[in-house]
């Protein structure tokens, strides 16, 4: 049977990491949580102690049908009949270890660059441990911190000759970054086969819970790109699918979970109801665990961010990322204050957003290219030319491997691969509060029901929203922003209600 490297536990017996817990119990709990392979790593014990502990750990891993590897000590592996060893660059050479342990043993080798990777691969290693990915207190004096860029280089390099060689990444990996590492490191034809951790499980108060959470994140990594991206390039192809997506939304009545600002809670709930979604305005992060299981989508709108709110956002993000539930990020007023700029950084490093939606200033801030201080939370004057705007959304989407929507008179939508402009909407949307925020709510509802192509889901949302605005503004009873709001809800409702009758006439207005 092929070895499962997906959640690879490396042990550590130092008090700083293990604390006063008992290592065999921690390993047992981790296996219960979903660890698939264990490496016993102990840099200080003598051979007799290594053998004693190795035997205890082996009894546990065998019970769970999981291989046990020994770090560095080939003799210990041989003595206890472990399934293999893991060798660092300064340990025994691969050929000697192979001679001692035989052809069936699993021998893994650490690699931090292309040269080491090729050497290990051509020497017959069974897998590569690639790192150090991020700086980690668990292993000081690591050779080099390679990040996802270094990891991608190695994967790319071995993807042709050693396409099948399993790889795991190690170093500073935990529940906030493993999904990102898995899908951002993917090079053509070669991704990671597993994530190796020490402290994320060994130092956790509850190692079983910690392992189970990592397990869920690994099992729910968002797709790198839409599987449908290639066939969904042409505008006509995209538009032709929108009526059925609107219909799907109405039939599914998806939960649309909004963590949004004080100003727009009521309006956002009304918009969600009008389009046929089921809103819940829940700002307490702890609730997200239960809500994420209901198959809906989450909007994180930081319009009135507070320190407590930020903690709530991050725990909700975690909950949705764990089950692969879509999240739309609305970085309201991102560049306006230092607090908001930091909040953006915190959120972006805490997990994965499927869609980021903002005006030009906000997108610039998220990208890290904002120069001046933004005035308020309104959109501000436009500064750059069309090509520059296309570059912005494309760059951010490619970097984050998600979908970016930059709103303005013209809207720019990109998944890094495909980029489109949308000319719909009406000036009244700029004269009422919460139009941007409720666009986020609308798109999130579409993300919940159409996971095959996130860009298309976002396009469906923005077209329904902006065309409804045009319809409302054109009504005789609409005299200005005040009368526009109820008419807008009506038109959203009409598009939604007509969807079941297969009426897609409204889409003719798409520009
Ligand atoms: N090997 P944590 S980094 C054991 O780069 C080990 O080869 C590394 O610990 C390498 O998951 C590392 O706590 C420690 O960051 C990883
Ligand atoms: Mg070593």
* ipTM (interface pTM): 0.93
48 Cα–ligand 2 center, Å: 18
Cα radius of gyration rounded to whole Å, the chain: 26
- Give the binding-site residues of ligand 1, using a 6 Å CB cut-off: 10, 41, 110, 129, 131-132, 136, 138-139, 142, 170-173, 197-200
β-pairing verdict for 403-407 and 411-414: antiparallel
According to the model, what pLDDT value does residue 382 have?
Answer: 54
Mean pLDDT calculated for residue range 11-28: 97
> With 60 as the cut, is the pLDDT of residue 377 above it?
no
pLDDT category at 222 given cuts 50, 70, 90 is: confident
Residues 295 and 438 in one domain: yes
* Structural domain span for residue 201: 7-219
CATH number, position 334: 3.40.1190.20
The pick from 14, 71, 136, 167 for probing ligand 1's pocket by mutation, whose C-beta has the most ligand atoms within 8 angstroms, reads 136
Indicate the average pLDDT of the chain: 92
Model pLDDT, residue 22: 97
Are 192 and 310 within one domain? Answer: no
Report the residue among 35, 137, 195, 198 best suited for mutation to probe ligand 1: largest number of ligand atoms under 8 A from its CB.
Answer: 198
- Give 156-160's long-range contacts (Cβ < 8 A, gap of 24+): 156/187, 156/188, 156/190, 157/114, 157/117, 157/118, 158/114, 158/117, 158/118, 158/121, 158/128, 158/190, 159/187, 159/188, 159/189, 159/190, 160/189
Show which residues are catalytic. 437
Phi-psi region of 320 (alpha: psi -120 to 50; beta: other; left: phi over 0): alpha
In a shared domain, residues 205 and 294: no
Point out the ligand nearest to the CA of residue 139: 1
Ligand 1 atom closest to residue 199's alpha carbon, by position in its atom list: 13
Q: Does 236 map to a domain?
A: no
Q: Domain for residue 1, yes or no?
A: no
- What is the rounded distance in angstroms from the CA atom of residue 186 to the CA atom of residue 325? 21
How much distance in Å is there from the Cα of 230 to the middle of ligand 2?
Answer: 44
Closest ligand to 85 CA?
2
> Is there a domain that residue 456 lies in?
yes
253 lies in the same domain as 214: no
Higher-scoring residue by pLDDT: 142, 290: 290
On whether residue 140 sits in a domain, the answer given is yes
Residue at 415 is within a domain: yes
Verify that 272 and 205 share a domain, yes or no: no
Say yes or no: 254 and 211 in one domain.
no
Q: Would residue 375 count as lying in a domain? A: yes
Cβ proximity of 428 and 480 under 8 Å: yes
Distance from C-alpha of 301 to C-alpha of 444, rounded to nearest angstrom: 12
| Residue at a domain's end among 184, 219, 254 | 219
Which of residues 219, 252, 277 is at a domain's end? 219
Q: Whose CA is nearest to atom 5 of ligand 1?
A: 132
Residue 226 falls inside a structural domain:
no
User: Which ligand 1 atom is the nearest neighbour of the CA of 197?
Assistant: 11
User: Could you tell me the distance, in angstroms and rounded to a whole number, from the CA of residue 92 to the centre of ligand 2?
Assistant: 9
Let me know whether 191 and 281 are in one domain.
no
Give the integer Cα–Cα distance in Å for 368 and 415. 18
Query: Are 310 and 252 part of one and the same domain?
Result: yes
User: CB-based contacts of 189: which residues, under 8 Å, 6+ apart?
Assistant: 159, 160, 163
Counting from 1 in the atom list of ligand 1, the atom nearest the Cα of 134 is 15
Q: Determine what percent of the chain is predicted with pLDDT higher than 90.
A: 76
Query: Are 291 and 428 part of one and the same domain?
Result: yes
Number of structural domains (the chain) is 2
Taking the centre of ligand 1 as the mean of its atom positions, its distance from the CA of residue 172, in whole angstroms, is 7
Regarding whether 209 and 256 lie in a shared domain, the answer is no
CA of 41, closest atom in ligand 1: 4
136 CA distance to ligand 1 middle (Å): 7
Per residue in 295-338, pLDDT (tens digit) is 999 999 998 889 999 999 999 998 998 888 999 999 998 988 99
Nearest atom of ligand 1 to the alpha carbon of 129: 7
Query: Is 33 a member of any domain?
Result: yes
- How far, in Å, is the centroid of ligand 1 from the Cα of 371? 37
CA of 194 to the centre of ligand 1 (A): 14
Task: Give nearest CA residue, ligand 1 atom 15.
Answer: 172
pLDDT of amino acid 414: 96
Q: Cβ neighbours of residue 412 under 8 Å, at least 6 residues apart?
A: 389, 390, 392, 393, 404, 405, 406, 419, 420, 421, 422
Examine the domain organization and report whether 391 and 255 are in the same domain. yes
**Ligand located closest to 136 CA:** 1
For residue 143, the ligand 1 atom closest to its alpha carbon is: 5
* Cα separation values, 449 from 153, 217, 277, 296, 312, Å: 35, 21, 10, 8, 25
Q: Please say which residue of 219, 253, 285 terminates a domain.
A: 219
Q: Which of 134, 139, 195, 203 to mutate to test the pocket of ligand 1 (most atoms within 8 A of CB)?
A: 139
Question: Are both 391 and 469 inside the same structural domain?
Answer: yes
Q: Which ligand is nearest to the CA of 86?
A: 2
Residue nearest to atom 13 of ligand 1 (CA): 199
User: Which ligand is closest to the CA of 43, given by its number?
Assistant: 2
What average pLDDT does the segment 390-397 reach?
Answer: 94
- How many CB atoms are closer than 10 A to CB 262? 9
Average pLDDT in the 471-476 region? 97
Under the banding of pLDDT at 50, 70 and 90, the label for residue 86 is: very high
The answer to whether the CB of 126 falls within 8 A of the CB of 166 is yes
Question: Does the pLDDT value for residue 475 go beyond 70?
Answer: yes
- Give Cβ neighbours of residue 367 (< 8 Å, ≥ 6 apart): 392, 395, 396, 399
Ligand 1 geometric centre to CA of 202 (Å) = 12
């Amino acid at each position: 049977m092929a070895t499962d490297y997906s959640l690879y536990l490396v042990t550590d017996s130092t008090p700083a990491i293990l604390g006063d817990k008992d290592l065999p119990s921690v390993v047992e709990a981790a296996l219960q949580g979903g660890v698939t392979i264990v490496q016993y790593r102990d840099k200080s014990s003598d051979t007799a102690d290594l053998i004693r502990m190795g035997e205890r750990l082996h009894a546990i891993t065998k019970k769970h049908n999981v291989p046990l590897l020994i770090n560095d000590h080939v003799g210990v592996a041989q003595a206890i009949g472990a399934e293999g060893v893991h060798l660092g660059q300064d340990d025994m050479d691969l050929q000697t270890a192979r001679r001692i342990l035989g052809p069936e043993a699993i021998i893994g080798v650490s690699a931090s660059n292309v040269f080491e990777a090729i050497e290990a691969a051509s020497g017959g290693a069974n897998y590569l441990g690639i790192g150090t990915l991020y700086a980690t207190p668990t292993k000081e004096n690591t050779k080099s911190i390679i990040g996802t860029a270094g990891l991608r280089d190695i994967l790319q390099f071995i993807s042709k000759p050693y396409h099948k060689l399993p790889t795991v990444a190690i170093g500073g990996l935990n529940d906030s970054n493993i999904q990102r590492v898995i899908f951002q490191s993917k090079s053509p034809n070669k991704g990671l086969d597993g994530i190796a951790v020490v402290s994320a499980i060994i130092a956790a108060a509850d190692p079983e819970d910690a392992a189970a959470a990592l397990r869920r994140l690994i099992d729910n990594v968002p797709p790198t790109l839409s599987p449908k991206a290639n066939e969904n390039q042409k505008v006509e192809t995209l538009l032709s699918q929108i009526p059925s997506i609107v219909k799907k939304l109405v039939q599914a009545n998806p939960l649309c979970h909004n963590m949004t600002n004080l100003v727009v809670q009521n309006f956002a709930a009304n918009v969600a109801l009008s389009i046929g979604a089921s809103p819940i305005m829940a700002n307490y992060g702890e609730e997200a665990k239960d809500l994420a299981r209901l198959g809906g989508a989450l909007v994180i709108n930081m319009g009135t961010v507070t320190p407590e709110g930020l903690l709530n956002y991050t725990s909700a993000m975690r909950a949705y990322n764990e089950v692969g539930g879509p999240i739309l990020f609305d970085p309201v007023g991102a560049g306006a204050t230092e607090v908001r700029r930091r909040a953006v950084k915190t959120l972006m490093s805490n997990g994965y957003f499927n869609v980021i939606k903002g005006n030009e200033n906000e997108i610039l801030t998220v990208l890290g290219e904002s120069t001046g201080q933004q005035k308020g939370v309104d959109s501000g004057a436009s500064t750059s030319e069309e090509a520059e705007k296309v570059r912005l959304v494309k760059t951010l989407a490619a970097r984050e491997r998600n979908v970016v929507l930059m709103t303005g008179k013209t809207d720019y939508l990109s998944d890094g691969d495909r980029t489109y402009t949308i000319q719909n909407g009406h000036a009244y949307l700029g004269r009422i509060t919460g139009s941007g925020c409720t666009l986020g709510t609308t798109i999130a509802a579409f993300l919940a029901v159409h996971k095959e192509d996130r860009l298309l889901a976002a396009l469906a949302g923005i077209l329904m929203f902006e065309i409804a605005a045009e319809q409302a503004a054109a009504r005789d009873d609409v005299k200005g922003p005040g009368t526009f709001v109820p008419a807008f809800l009506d038109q959203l409702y009409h598009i939604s209600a007509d969807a079941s009758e297969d009426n897609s006439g409204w889409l003719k207005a798409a520009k």
